[in-house]
Structure 1
Amino acid sequence: MIKLQTFLQKIGEGSRREIGNLIVSGKVKVNGEVIREPWFKVVEEDIIEIYDKKIHVKEKIHETDVYVYYLIHKPVGYLSALKDDRGRKTISDLIKGKIKEHVFHVGRLDYNTSGLMLLTNDGDLANLLLHPKHKIYKTYKVLVNKHINKKDLEILENGIVIEGGYKTQPATIEKVQKKGKYSEITLSIHEGKKRQIRLMFKALGYDVLKLKRIKFGPWTIDEVRNPGDIKKLNSKEVEKFKQYLKS
């Protein structure tokens, strides 16, 4: 027996949150019956209906036992999603024919943001990465439409109230460079609110012209330098990461 949400996540039908939302909204059936509880247990004999297709648990259960981990360099112009009902390009288009396993993305980068992402079918590890208590840092290069001043950098370092009234945790400013009439700021955060970096700079009166994630936990963009690059992590690299989580 395995939880419905966990099973669908492990075979690559979406992220934990996406699948949970689908189940709760009544869009998943088991043996013809709508199931609204993500924790509902399925067995090998069951047939699941999702996205207008049928999944025989017995044929897919073996995929929940083998975990894989890929780093990718997401280009601008791709959604951090496996499907899009508006026909836009997604991560699925990026990895088609290159990754044979069913995987999902850990965290998100918006449509106009490029950079480092992790794909896996390991739901437990994904939850560890995204849980706030672990404070997994992500580093970004941000190009804004004018020179940034010292006062605004200090505000970022102390946390800033963004749309919705949420105050961010302090950001770490790594580097600031002038790029003609613009500024490029390299900073790190350990949160993952939707469009957080863009909203932080918007609150200070800056427009983000270019945004790229260059580091995620122990991994850097150097491992997948070019947009569209994909790297499968080997067992030693995975073990190194698990040790990083424990540190």
Structure 2
Amino acid sequence: MERSMPSNKFSSAKFAIGHKVRVRFGIADPDYPDIPIGGWAGQVADLEGGDPCFYLVRWNRQTLNSMAAIYRKRCERDGLDMMQMWLAEHDLEADEGGPVNIMQPTEIQTKPLNMKNQDDRIRLVFGLTHDDPVPEVKTDTLRAYRDYLAENLSFPFEAWGKKNPGRFFTTTQAVAVAGLGCDDEDERLDEHYGLICEIKIGRKRGDAPLADLEVKGLGAERQLVDDYRYWFFNWRC
């Protein structure tokens, strides 16, 4: 995803497309104020006139190779293009050549997890920070999610087994979720079906994927299971 840009192309500009430029020291990334970008160098790929003019700078290889890992991680998480950036004219100077002297972050400020944000609630499951990407569904992450749910869900709870052709329920049924099995039962972990839980339908007992269940009501169990289902269906490899 490209960063936002101005819209007027008709004012005079100090730099032309193709000019080599460098970011002035003391400048920070517009999206991440704790990431200094002084010394980053590249070539003007586009420009937008105005007051001030803005330039799309495509970073050179030295700059790309010197970017901090935390910056790469944030760009990946937020869908930003780390190959280029729009910057104001007063943030730039002509690149006269010479070695690239890139400022590195020294005071990283990681945002606290926001429990109103579903992705952040999932990061909490895995003990991650806001800067970390949400992990993919694999055996080890399923195991970690099972342990988290086992500690935080109150069993039994009522749910609907949702009709889902090709999976476990051919009609929507009311079920009681009795548990997630024992900690060492890896046969209840499946990268295709996810966590397999114990259910009761009337007097009958059985197993079903937790991802095929929708919790009744609006309690804590509803949010916990909805978050798990969101993660499972969106981060499968």
Task: Tell whether the structures are fold-level matches, with TM greater than 0.5.
Answer: no
Q: Which has the higher contact order (CA 8 A, sep 6+)?
A: 1
Larger radius of gyration: 2
